[in-house]
Amino acid sequence: MPRSFLVKKHINSTKKPNYSENFVKFFFFLIHTFLFFIIILKYGLPLSVIPQPEILSPAAYSPITVWTTSSLPLSPLPSDLSPISGYPSSLSDTSSKDHSGSESPRSDEDEQMLAKLTDPSGVDVEKFQCALCSKSYSTYSGLLKHKQLHCDAQARKSFSCKYCEKEYVSLGALKMHIRTHTLPCVCKICGKAFSRPWLLQGHIRTHTGEKPFSCPHCNRAFADRSNLRAHLQTHSDVKKYQCKNCSKTFSRMSLLHKHEESGCCTAH
DNA sequence: CTGGGGACGGGGCCC
DNA sequence: CGGGCCCCGTCCCCA
């Protein structure tokens, strides 16, 4: 039963691109582009005036881009979707804070603007719920950060191994896994290959006879820490693994499995 | 058959 | 992001 925390879980088994989501992004891009030209036509095009916040603040967009909690876009606006520099940068800020909803002081203004953007009347701004995991946040920014860090990442990112069928949620985890296929660490003595340097080190001890892990209860020594740990169980009165049927305890899970397979469980 | 040792795999955590 | 180390676990072998 190998642990596989990093193995990607197929939340909705989507390796395919989300075309509907892309369409929504494109739709908002068109709206923003259209608004941008409307503003240019209305106020002219002196470049020094373009970033005027009273014109280009998100509040200026609120009559058009009001997002209710039920119609929020599933993914954050990409930076290239924002046609103006005055748009709140926190929308695409993945580097600050976690998804717990606690906000940094520097983003308070953005939060207020987002609250206006979301609901100018100030009514029902406490509830921003993730459609995937139902977690709620008091601000839209909090919801965005949550989705960027967790749910969207889980749903979108998929790093597949080219040697087998495994998928991982992070590139680092995938790279680490690929080493189990490429086996870059080779023993100079016998030529055996390993995925990681410390595995090779442990193997070299089988050649040198080095046993750096000593038992404090007897004079035995081991080349592998895990083997020492298993050995320590033999000194313990309380064995770690217990049979549910006969309450007999074992020092190793493999011994418990053997015991169960030998018929203890079926005998009861 | 059982208990224990040897060797090793793989993911997580920390720096 | 990568390396080193830790922890948990498995498989095989032998007394």
Domain boundaries along the sequence of chain A: 159-235, 239-267
**In this structure, what token pair is assigned to residue A207?**
């050649």
Q: How far is residue A236's CA from residue A96's CA, in Å, rounded to a whole number?
A: 47
Give pLDDT, residue A177.
83
Q: How far is residue A1's CA from residue A11's CA, in Å, rounded to a whole number?
A: 21
Q: pLDDT: is A154 or A52 the higher one? A: A154
- As a rounded value in angstroms, the CA-to-C1' distance for A252 and C7 is 14
Of A257, A231, A262, A229, the residue nearest A243 (C-alpha): A257
> Which residue minimizes Cα–C1' distance to C5?
A198
Q: pLDDT: is A63 or A176 the higher one? A: A176
Q: How far is residue A248's CA from residue A263's CA, in Å, rounded to a whole number?
A: 13
Give pLDDT, residue A63.
30
**What is the DSSP secondary-structure string of A214-255?**
E-SSSS-EES-HHHHHHHHHHH-SS-SEE-TTT--EESSHHH
- As a rounded value in angstroms, the CA-to-C1' distance for A223 and B6 is 9
C-alpha distances (whole Å) from A121 to each of A59, A62, A98, A117 are 12, 11, 28, 10
Q: Does the predicted model carry a pTM greater than 0.85?
A: no
Q: Where are the alpha helices (DSSP H) in A57-129?
A: 58-61, 108-118
Residue A25: CB atoms within 10 A of its CB come to 19
- As a rounded value in angstroms, the CA-to-C1' distance for A245 and B2 is 18
> Which residue minimizes Cα–C1' distance to B4?
A231
Q: What are phi and psi of A117, to 5 degrees?
A: -60, -40
pLDDT tops 60 at residue A188: yes
Q: pLDDT: is A254 or A146 the higher one? A: A254
Q: Name the nucleotide nearest A6; use CA and C1'.
A: B11
- As a rounded value in angstroms, the CA-to-C1' distance for A259 and B1 is 10
Average pLDDT over residues A222-244: 81
Of A71, A87, A77, A72, the residue nearest A36 (C-alpha): A87
Nucleic chain B contacts, Cβ below 7 Å: A 2-7, 166, 173, 176-177, 180, 192, 194-196, 199, 202-203, 205-206, 220, 222-224, 226-227, 230-231, 233-234, 248, 250-252, 254-255, 258-259, 262
Q: How far is residue A65's CA from residue A239's CA, in Å, rounded to a whole number?
A: 63
Give pLDDT, residue A32.
56
pLDDT in tens, A66-104: 232 333 333 333 333 232 233 333 333 333 333 333 333
Q: Which fold has domain A159-235?
A: Double Stranded RNA Binding Domain (3.30.160)
With cut-offs at 50, 70 and 90, classify the pLDDT of residue A110: very low
pLDDT in tens, A136-153: 777 777 777 655 555 554
pLDDT in tens, A29-67: 555 556 555 554 555 443 333 333 322 233 323 332 323
Query: What ranges make up the beta strands (E) of A118-251?
Result: 128-129, 136-137, 159-160, 167-168, 185-186, 193-194, 213-214, 221-222, 241-242, 249-250
For chain A, state the CA radius of gyration.
Answer: 29
- As a rounded value in angstroms, the CA-to-C1' distance for A255 and C10 is 11
Give pLDDT, residue A38.
55
Q: Name the nucleotide nearest A204; use CA and C1'.
A: B7
